[in-house]
Structure 1
Amino acid sequence: MSDSAYTILIAEDDDSIRHALTDVLTASGYEVLALEEGLAAIHAVRERNFDLALLDVAMPGADGFQVLQVMSEERPGTPVIMLTARGEEEDRVQGLKLGADDYIVKPFSIRELLARIEAVLRRSPERPRQLREIRIPGATLDSANRLITFKDGRETSLTAREFEFLTYMATHPNRVITRDELLRRVWDVDPRLTDTRSVEMTVMRLRDKLGAASASPLETLRSQGYRWNSSFVS
């Protein structure tokens, strides 16, 4: 079963396909938001993060390419698989140029789609993220050098793992992120096969480096995981 922390956006105007995808993905352990038109999908993308999006090319309101364009601007690095009844090369090329990770033509096998989703999710943590500035209260982060500069002039450097953890949290704001998800997506290990306190130690070191004020967005939720609360940096 897939990691239940993964949230997938489905934007598909065909009721039967949308319902079938919702049922299968939910049964496979994913969280799903299923929408039937493009403008609603654009609104959803602007409101929250997704781990992957399935976008139908032909939809009312806004087509899949328009949703993909907004996703590339608002949520860079989010994996996207395009769904279409049209198999023309021009459509495939346009989708890939706009940043789609994969393209599947209807009618398609559910097993094939699930395999492609799993493959894209496996690849996505390794892909460089096109990040906007990570905002930290009372400090600025130089992402290229992993260097934090505080308003009083102090500086502290982050290890690669601390930076990757902070990046993952800040690019998935206001969502509870479990330890298992962090181990899979940041540490790239299977939590079922490891017994480690790496996450807890990284959080402790990061809080120590940032100090109470600058670390205020990073919340620990007992027995649940961690959350980056954007209200502290707005």
Structure 2
Amino acid sequence: MSSLTYTILVAEDDDSIRHALTDVLTASGYEVLAAEEGLAAIRAVRERNFDLALLDVAMPGADGFQVLQVMSEERPGTPVIMLTARGEEEDRVQGLKLGADDYIVKPFSIRELIARIEAVLRRSPERPRQIREITIPGAVLDSANRMLTFEDGKTATLTAREFELLSYMATHPNRVITRDELLRRVWDMDPRLTDTRSVEMTVMRLRDKLGAKAAASLETLRSQGYRWNSSFLS
């Protein structure tokens, strides 16, 4: 994919890793905005626009989760990939709950990281979409800015991953969609080669944002998968 127009925030306190990521991403055609610690990353979030952020979980000043929380307020909807050296499930779950689109565990291969970045950016708002607007119970979703507008006037912004999941489900109504299908079609991942709770955590986070009325359409079918029940639209 063409990456010449994309700017990536790299927040990593390890000098060798930060420099290596900057060099590789620049060579791959991305513009890189590097931050050496959490507070510097927060300043960057408040001062600059960028298309994706790579956030190290363990940073001095402010950790990756704190930066992510600021991003949710200052740059809602901007894709985020968390970098963690520990690989602990608790870290991954916390990042996903806070709105991260993906995570990658150190040490990671450059090829894998670039593939993850490209997969997330393919779900950016600039990507052409077949459907401009999706109507859901009690709300309308505008695909241009991934914004949910509810009947009472309140709004909620979806992450790129949440938007793609909802779009995929809503455009395949009343059909059981397995976790493996979602990993292939929405996450661009081979389910045979990954062990992740991203689908489950994203569904949970999406339901919270949809609210009780709209979330009723997104059904979990035990040991089968998920289904978008269009009967709630009538």
**Superimposed CA distance per residue, residues 159-213 of structure 1 (whole angstroms, 9 cap, x where no aligned partner):** xxxxxxxxxxxxxxxxxxxxxxxxxxxxxxxxxxxxxxxxxxxxxxxxxxxxxxx
| Residue matched to 1:203 | none
Normalising to structure 1: TM-score of the pair? 0.54
- Distance (Å, rounded) in 1 between the aligned partners of 2:61 and 2:71: 16
- Distance (Å, rounded) in 2 between the aligned partners of 1:44 and 1:130: 23
1:129 to 123, 145, 159: 145
1:47 aligns with 2:63: no
- Distance (Å, rounded) in 1 between the aligned partners of 2:2 and 2:67: 25
Normalising to structure 2: TM-score of the pair? 0.54
| Residue matched to 1:60 | 60
| Residue matched to 2:20 | 20
- Distance (Å, rounded) in 2 between the aligned partners of 1:17 and 1:3: 21
| Residue matched to 1:117 | 117
Q: Name the amino acid aligned to 1:117.
A: I
User: Does the CA contact (< 8 Å) of 1:2 and 1:30 recur in 2?
Assistant: no
| Residue matched to 2:105 | 105
List gaps (5 residues or longer) in structure 2.
128-142, 156-234
| Residue matched to 2:71 | 71
Cα RMSD (Å): 2.4
**Superimposed CA distance per residue, residues 103-151 of structure 1 (whole angstroms, 9 cap, x where no aligned partner):** 000000000000000000001226673559xxxxxxxxx9x9xxxxxxx
User: How many residue pairs get matched?
Assistant: 136
Task: Indicate the structure (1 or 2) with the bigger Cα radius of gyration.
Answer: 1
With over 3 angstroms needed to count, the CA separation of the structure-2 counterparts of 1:82 and 1:128, relative to structure 1, is farther
1:29 aligns with 2:29: yes
**Superimposed CA distance per residue, residues 24-67 of structure 1 (whole angstroms, 9 cap, x where no aligned partner):** 00000000011110001001101121100000000010000000
| Residue matched to 1:174 | none
List gaps (5 residues or longer) in structure 1.
133-141, 145-234
Q: Name the amino acid aligned to 1:11.
A: A
- Where do 4+ consecutive residues of structure 1 move more than 6 Å? none
- Distance (Å, rounded) in 1 between the aligned partners of 2:123 and 2:4: 18
| Residue matched to 1:80 | 80
- Distance (Å, rounded) in 1 between the aligned partners of 2:7 and 2:18: 15
User: Does the CA contact (< 8 Å) of 1:76 and 1:129 recur in 2?
Assistant: no
With over 3 angstroms needed to count, the CA separation of the structure-2 counterparts of 1:41 and 1:131, relative to structure 1, is farther
User: Does the CA contact (< 8 Å) of 1:101 and 1:120 recur in 2?
Assistant: yes
Q: Equivalent residue of 1:9, what SS? A: strand
Identity %: 88
Deviates more, 1:119-128 or 1:94-103: 119-128
With over 3 angstroms needed to count, the CA separation of the structure-2 counterparts of 1:130 and 1:75, relative to structure 1, is farther
Q: Equivalent residue of 1:8, what SS? A: strand
